[in-house]
Amino acid sequence: MTATPRRGTPAPALRSRPPSAPAEKDKTDSNVRMAMTLEEAPWLGWLLVKALMRFAFMVANNLVAIPSYICYVIILQPLRVLDSKRFWYIEGIMYKWLLGMVASWGWYAGYTVMEWGEDIKAVSKDEAVMLVNHQATGDVCTLMMCLQDKGLVVAQMMWLMDHIFKYTNFGIVSLVHGDFFIRQGRSYRDQQLLLLKKHLENNYRSRDRKWIVLFPEGGFLRKRRETSQAFAKKNNLPFLTHVTLPRSGATKIILNALVAQQENGSPAGGDAKELDSNSKGLQWIIDATIAYPKAEPIDIQTWILGYRKPTVTHVHYRIFPIKDVPLETDDLNNWLYQRFIEKEDLLSHFYETGAFPPSKGHKEAVSREMSLSNMWIFLIQSFAFLSGYMWYNIIQYFYHCLF
């Protein structure tokens, strides 16, 4: 028989002290968190110190390298008049070194690149357009790194980038080199395309450029995804998550300006089976897909400060001969849409498996680890600082002579 407590007497369950258990647990969790914080404090402190040191080096690097580049370009202006091709060759080499310095900031922070798909070194001496998906400012740094070992590609490359980059520390270098700054927005679109056409006519072949890097999405993934998905729904197009639908305006201008036409009007581009083709004009479209582990892109701040743990960025390449690319507006739109639908599939596979799928005709996907030469980085950094010291003394000497 079960005893029933009398009125006014607490039940045994109520006389126990269970409420104290959660309080004790919270106290324990608080102690654990405090202990973890105290253990992480030295690591966080070192991370902050390292970030400040990296930032200080980056500032010093820019203060000596960029003014030195400008001084060399000024002093070489007579050569530009006498032998324009040689001038732009020397300028391109210095441009490649500057981009190599930017690449080295990420390299020493442990931000490396794994390459997949076709080997683009095979077409490094031909004219090509590289179409790249765009997720963050670190995409540009990633390309600066992984293209360093592709011969003179970086030296002979023209970038199409947002006009805001014109006002960065690297803006004056890009202006001298002949990169094109495009202003986004519907109200500017037609004007910008006309300016791009004129820019290509005046600067592309006269400066012996070979490659053009283009981000057809027209902005970062996080900013354009909702707009792109709404457009896709309205026009019965595929719903994309990892990329956005590309814009074709700049691509069409580039193709029309640079593709050599045969007498019958068809493009005279190269053939994937004949990489030694001697045909002139734009020959290849390189479809580059950048993937970050866990879909967490690297931005320029991370690249400079290095506060993120070492990360391997993956870049997948596909090469299309220009003769297979339609030039008419509607057909070109569809062709570009198809490329980005394929990018969506590539990225979905990567995020699920951690690797890109095998290329057509291959049973397994093959990856290549990209590497920078530490000795080469040391040499170009040393040259930059020695040049900065030399130009400082020259300018100081003339200043004292004049004043």
Q: Write down the domain spans for the chain.
A: 112-372
| 150-186 residue pLDDT tens | 999 999 999 998 887 787 778 899 999 999 998 877 7
The per-residue pLDDT for 362 is 72
Q: Alpha-carbon distance 370 to 210, whole Å?
A: 22
Q: Determine the Cα–Cα distance for residues 386 and 120; give it in Å rounded to an integer.
A: 34
* pTM (2 d.p.): 0.83
> Cβ–Cβ contacts within 10 Å for residue 310, how many?
9
CATH number of 112-372: 3.40.1130
Could you give the C-alpha distances from 286 to 156, 160, 246, 316, in angstroms and in order?
A: 16, 15, 15, 10
The answer to whether residues 273 and 263 touch, using CB atoms and an 8 Å cutoff, is: no
Q: Are 374 and 150 in contact (CB under 8 A)?
A: no
State pLDDT tens for residues 108-121. 999 999 999 999 99
- 367-369/111-117 β-pairing: antiparallel
Nearest alpha-carbon partner for 183 in 200, 202, 167, 206: 167
Question: What is the token pair recorded at 283?
Answer: 């020959």
d(CA 178, CA 275): 27
Confidence of residue 6 (pLDDT cuts 50, 70, 90): very low
- Across the strands, what pairs with 389? none
Which residue reads 């892109």 in tokens? Answer: 297
The DSSP code for 180 is E
Summarised one tens digit per residue, pLDDT across range 46-79 is: 788 888 999 999 999 999 999 999 999 999 999 9
